[in-house]
Amino acid sequence: MRETYHEALSKVVDDLVSMTNRVQTAVDGATVALLDADLTAAEKVISEDADLDRLHDDVENRCFVLLARQSPVAGELRTIVAALRMVADLARMGDLAAHIAKIARMRYPKHAVPESIEPNFQRMAVLATEMTEIAGRTLRERNILDAEKMADDDEEMDTLRTMQFTELLGDEWAHGVQAAVDCALLGRYYERIADHAVIMGSRVIYIVTGLHPEGDNWSIA
Amino acid sequence: MRETYHEALSKVVDDLVSMTNRVQTAVDGATVALLDADLTAAEKVISEDADLDRLHDDVENRCFVLLARQSPVAGELRTIVAALRMVADLARMGDLAAHIAKIARMRYPKHAVPESIEPNFQRMAVLATEMTEIAGRTLRERNILDAEKMADDDEEMDTLRTMQFTELLGDEWAHGVQAAVDCALLGRYYERIADHAVIMGSRVIYIVTGLHPEGDNWSIA
């Protein structure tokens, strides 16, 4: 019985890792859709978001069963509680990638992002994917250091967001209101994907150590 | 022992209800800050957000203790799991209210929202507060019907958001890029507060019935 329990829990963690891979693919696809004005890529991200939602429901239900089935010991309990939250983070990250793809689709065949601000979004996208990858790897390897490294990426993400506003609201912005509004929302979506990746890192630290890291975004769900 | 357990669980639910009241106050305060360009109101919402975060951590820890202390029966388990998520929703709603207040503070002494689009935001704010109030009342009274009524408000919120974009991106928009960007983000924040209220309603249905309502936003955390 204990072994089956462990196996079921271990399967939950494996599924979270594979959901993380799917989220990475979704963020990459959304970025291609956005920066190449690629309608097929946009449609793919949007339709595959439903798979992530189904996976979410499945993993969530299995966590409930594990919580109900027998009194889990401390480490198991932490893992299940963290898993319940990570699966919600991952579903949300998928939604955010789909939001990005929807803006790309809405503006197609035009580019939603003007050329002058493309490098900024390109870098935001690289960071968002990298941070998601770190979250997945940290979970797989239960490696605390990777989660800490993520803080640097997050700081760069904040800087990019500030630079974005400087450009959008500057006198030299010649792309009109619609492009500015699109960029402000797109930047917000990438930023939130990164936030969730940071939170996922915190949740892994919690699984491993039982402690919430100081000064993290733990309370932001 | 059982009675103490029930008391502790009941205290968690009471604290969620009181956090909901605080979130309502925060959303109201943020709206005053925004529509009256009231700096004092803005500062108050921003500084009180830390209290909500502390309450979040406290309630969360008590839920962990309840989960670990003894194997809860089905209804209790559902309540604790739902409480863990609702407390995260409430912390996030507080953050969103603070985001609104920060935009008001950034533009002070100017108004962030141009007069022509003020009625739209006024109504969004009324709905966000009302939906938060319904979520709190539903939780207090465990009344399923209230959560279902919330769907109507949510639909109106979506309509208001669409109207916003029509105005921001229309030819008659004469308020420039900065006001448009501010309004797009502010609209997003009110919309997300409403989303979390809807999700909270779903979580109460789950506590009461053990079922996730069909077609809800359960997966959006």
CA–CA distance, A155 with A151 (Å, rounded to integer): 6
Total domain count for chain A? 1
pLDDT in tens, B115-154: 999 999 999 999 999 999 999 998 898 877 676 678 899 9
Report if residue A74 sits inside a domain.
yes
Looking at CA atoms only, how far is residue A201 from chain B in angstroms? 17
**Complex ipTM, two decimals?**
0.88
Q: Which residue has the higher pLDDT, A91 or B218?
A: A91
pLDDT in tens, A171-202: 999 999 999 999 999 999 999 999 999 999 88
pLDDT in tens, A95-122: 999 999 999 999 999 999 999 999 999 9
**Nearest beta carbon to residue A178 from set B67, B169, B218:** B169
Chain A contact set for B53 (CB, 8 A): 219
For residue B129, give the amino acid letter: T
CB under 8 Å to B50, separation ≥6 — which residues? none
The CATH number of the domain holding residue B77 is: 1.20.58.220
Q: What pLDDT was estimated at residue A44?
A: 98
Q: Is A106 on the interface with B (CB under 8 A)?
A: no
Would you call A180 and B180 a contact, using CB atoms and an 8 Å cutoff? yes
Would you call A91 and B219 a contact, using CB atoms and an 8 Å cutoff? yes
Backbone CA torsion sign across A143, B91, B159, B131: positive
Report if residue B184 sits inside a domain.
yes
Would you call B89 and A221 a contact, using CB atoms and an 8 Å cutoff? yes
Low-confidence ranges of chain A (pLDDT < 50): 214-221
Would you call B185 and A185 a contact, using CB atoms and an 8 Å cutoff? yes
Closest to A195 measured CA to CA, from B60, B95, B117, B170: B95
**Nearest beta carbon to residue B177 from set A74, A91, A180:** A180
With contact defined as beta carbons under 8 Å apart, do B35 and B113 qualify?
yes
Q: What pLDDT was estimated at residue B2?
A: 56
Structure tokens at A174: 């010649």
CA–CA distance, A157 with B193 (Å, rounded to integer): 24
Query: How much of chain B is helix, strand and coil, in % rounded to 5?
Result: 85, 0, 15
User: What is the mean pLDDT of the segment spanning B201-207?
Assistant: 85
Report if residue A12 sits inside a domain.
yes
Report if residue B218 sits inside a domain.
no
Report if residue A215 sits inside a domain.
no
Q: Is B106 on the interface with A (CB under 8 A)?
A: no
Model confidence at B213, pLDDT cuts 50, 70, 90, reads low
Report if residue B221 sits inside a domain.
no
Chain B contact set for A177 (CB, 8 A): 168-169, 173, 176-177, 180
Residue keyed to tokens 């462990």 = A6
Domain residue limits at B63: 2-209
Report if residue B109 sits inside a domain.
yes
CA–CA distance, B96 with A33 (Å, rounded to integer): 28
With contact defined as beta carbons under 8 Å apart, do B219 and A53 qualify?
yes
Find the residue in B nearest to A166 (Cα): B178
Report if residue B68 sits inside a domain.
yes
CB burial readout A60-96, b (16+ within 10 A) else e: bebbbebbeeeebeeebbbbbbbbbbbbbbbbbbbbb
pLDDT in tens, B56-102: 999 999 998 888 877 778 788 889 989 999 999 999 999 999 999 99
CA–CA distance, B187 with B181 (Å, rounded to integer): 10
With contact defined as beta carbons under 8 Å apart, do B14 and B26 qualify?
no
Q: What pLDDT was estimated at residue B174?
A: 95
